[in-house]
Chains A and B, each alone.
Chain A
Amino acid sequence: MTSSSSPIHTPTDSRRLPPRSVRLTLALWAVLLRLCPRAFRQTYGVEMEQVFRAMLLDAWRERGLRGVARLWAPALGDLLLGAAGAHGDDLGLSIEALRRSWIMSRMRSSAIITFSAYIALVLTGMGFQKLTEDIIKSNLPSMYPGIAIAHDVVMAGAVLALLAVLVGGLPVAWDAIRKALGARRWGILALFSVPPVSLAIWLAYIWAAMNVFVPNHLSQSAQLAQAHLLGRILVALLLLGAIASVIAVSIAVSRSQITPNRYRFALRAAIVATLGMALTMAGVAAFGLQVLAAAPQDLSVLATPLGFGESMGLSLLVQTIVMFIASVVAVISVFRGLSAPPPRPDVTAALA
């Protein structure tokens, strides 16, 4: 610290014993300093006393007791107004922090709800794919191009939604994983491992069901019954894995410090994802209506893949309803998230 870097130095020797009037004034001022917020005093209290002491000593040296007395009124005004202002600053920053927390929570919940709605749509879409594979393989689509077009619309919507979810969601997940790795938050990383572990379990089950669980010595009807049972377990595992994955990822994301800009970008991508979801839902509904018009008897066929005894028509109706609900939920949550005002940067809030 050189004298050239600080051209003006205190003209008083702060270590000399000050006169009684200065000591009394300073003691009283120190008591009044308690009007300031505690955190403010803890950070700047000592310095403030140093400055006021230097001011008092200068005033005393220049005008004696009269100088000290003349300093009192403005010093008291400064202290009272400044203390009130400092309390106001703290309150303003608290309100700003609450506002920021509310905005972040709204954007986060919107992103998570949209993601959950998308997963619901994906699961329903998988059911649709399995349900309609026989129709797609038949000559019905070539006879009735509307069926083929509706199926293509479902695929296009699904791909569009998938790409949008990846574009918007991967940066959020990457941010959370990167920060968790940096801060050694293993709990967050464990939560993010739930989706791949669930998928691995599900794939392992499929392999085991195809190679281990159905012994060849059973009768055909017994094999069919066992296949139905295995199919139900497969669906249950898929649903459980998906629910566990959504919950785990949601908890991991909500416990991570994701920047507002990341969420805002994810929500913009979610608009496209929602569009894709709506397209998929419209395709499924159109597919059902086309099949109803072209081959109504096909819709009354039992939807054997799930083995719950439902007809294909009922399955398609349920899938359309689920997709419709998922799309509506996604639209509402994206709208809520995007309507949240942008949080002010800390920098501008500090000087507000």
Chain B
Amino acid sequence: MEQSHERARRFVDPEALLPLTPAVFHIMLSLADGERHGYSILREVEQYTNGALKLGPTTLYRSIRQMVAAGLIEEAEERPDPALDDERRRYYRLTTFGRQVALAETRRLERLVAMARATSFGGQAIGLGFSTQGASGIGGGE
């Protein structure tokens, strides 16, 4: 089964998975610089969105389950040192395919923003600082 996933991934165009849900994309962004455990992902997303996006545990792990199944992220094999952290805690990291998908989503959003800037919304957005805050509250990522 795992082999067929791996084989399927090789033939899947990263763009076929777009657009990503906000929760999935934010989780991928939080894993861009290295592996993290669930709570660390949650805090990172909250921090860099200035609290605009607060993921709840169920939304977080539902997204993680989907992303693992899609091969976007994987569980890190290493477990934390029991002296430093809870050893039951699982760490997740982006896969190569996940990185390609995140890049594709970034490019898609860039194109979208460029299009928006080219319209009459562009001037207003620049004047208003182009706020992207939309989702709010716990589990507001879907």
Contact = CB atoms under 8 A, between A and B. Distances in A.
B40 A82 contact: no
B17 A347 contact: yes
A50 B89 contact: yes
A89 B65 contact: yes
Given A50-B39, A75-B56, A347 B5 contact: yes
A32 to B, nearest CB: 10
Interface in B72-131: 72, 76, 78-81, 84-86, 88-91, 97
Contacts of B54: 74
A71 B86 CA distance: 24
Contacts of A259: 4, 7
A44 B37 CA distance: 12
B62 A82 contact: yes
Contacts of A85: 58-59, 62, 142
Point out which of A36, A44, A50, A351 has the most chain B C-beta atoms below 10 A from its C-beta. Answer: A351
A86 B62 CA distance: 6
Contact of A89 (B62, B80, B88): B62
Given A50-B39, A79-B56, A44 B85 contact: no
Interface residues of B, number: 56
A346 B8 contact: yes
A44 B40 contact: no
A319 to B, nearest CB: 44
A1 B90 CA distance: 11
Interface string A107-130: 000000000000000000000000
A85 B37 CA distance: 22
Point out which of A43, A78, A85, A350 has the most chain B C-beta atoms below 10 A from its C-beta. Answer: A78
Contact of B62 (A5, A6, A40): A40
Contact of B33 (A7, A14, A40, A49): A7
Given A75-B138, A346-B69, A347-B8, A46 B88 contact: yes
A350 B12 contact: no
Interface string B59-70: 111101111011
A115 B66 CA distance: 40
B61 A351 contact: no
B56 A82 contact: yes
A51 B88 CA distance: 12
Contacts of A54: 39
A1 B97 CA distance: 23
B49 to A, nearest CB: 14
Contact of A347 (B59, B64, B70, B142): B70
Interface in B31-51: 33-40, 42-44, 47
Interface string B6-25: 01110110001100100010
A210 to B, nearest CB: 51
Contacts of B69: 346, 350
Nearest to A44: B61
The prevalent SS among residues of A at the interface is helix
A8 interface: yes
Given A74-B137, A77-B139, A78-B57, A350 B35 contact: no
A51 B38 contact: yes
Nearest to B30: A8
Given A4-B34, A85-B142, A74 B56 contact: yes
Given A81-B139, A351-B24, A48 B57 contact: yes
Interface in A78-109: 78-79, 81-83, 85-86, 89
A40 B65 contact: yes
Closest 10 CB pairs of A and B: A82-B58, A78-B56, A78-B139, A74-B138, A350-B69, A345-B8, A350-B70, A44-B61, A48-B57, A5-B34
Interface of A: 1, 4-10, 14, 36, 40, 43-44, 46-52, 54-55, 71, 74-75, 77-79, 81-83, 85-86, 89, 259, 345-348, 350-351
Given A6-B36, A7-B33, A348-B12, 14 more contacts: A1-B80, A6-B34, A7-B36, A14-B86, A78-B58, A78-B139, A85-B58, A85-B62, A85-B142, A86-B65, A89-B65, A346-B8, A347-B9, A350-B69
